Amino acid sequence: MSEYHDHVRQTLEGQNLEPGEDLGIDAMRWTPDTVSEDVTDEATQSAADMAHALLDRAADAYLSLLNEVLGDGTHRVVANASTAHGNLTEAQELTVMGDAMVINEAASMRVCAALATAMVGCATGAVVVRTFGPNGSEFVRGWKVRNFWLRPITAEEIRQAYTVDPATGAPLAPEPGVEFRQAERVPRPEDQAETTAREASRTAPRDNRPPNRRN
């Protein structure tokens, strides 16, 4: 794992990891407790439904981030989840140019899995994106996972993550040429549906029929 990924992993959530320590998806293969005979099929199905719901929600957040927020450029995306069972960090690089996107599907699935893990009740997590713009700019933004969605991190918060040693609190020299930006709001699917419905209602012709003759 690169020094960049290592640094994000240590600073964003205050973890003290050894440099180069690789926490891949294998590190999250937890050993389940012995299944009690009291566990019903209904409880098992409920747990499976919850897992699917979290994965769907994570995919919604990921796609909204890609399609509505990131913009043109090459983006290095790092997703981190911290749970009572361990830590999971997944990273990918993708390129967006207008409507075209170059992306690795397997890496996207792993990032979504990390986001879903961060959405579990007692977990925390975040996404950091380092963007190399077409005009030569280089900037960093971040989002925390809160209430099953991505919440913007301020420019000062993301700067703090990069310029303070998490172990000692000592200041670190900022990387030259890197700008720390306030992250944008990531639209929810329900927000987009509401906007579409509102726009449709503005363009629909007025129904002048009496209420008892409508529909």
Assess contact for 52 and 46: CB atoms under 8 A.
no
- DSSP run (H or E) holding 97: strand 86-97
DSSP letter, residue 67: I
**pLDDT value of residue 44:** 52
Q: What is the pTM of this model?
A: 0.69
SS3 114: helix
Reported residue count of the chain is 215
Mean pLDDT of the chain: 77
pLDDT of 97-146, one tens digit each?
998 999 999 999 999 999 999 999 889 999 999 999 999 999 999 999 99
What's the DSSP call for residue 204? S
Q: DSSP letters of 22-60?
A: ---GGGG---PPPPPTT--HHHHHHHHHHHHHHHHHHHH
Q: Can you tell me the mean pLDDT for 157-172? A: 85
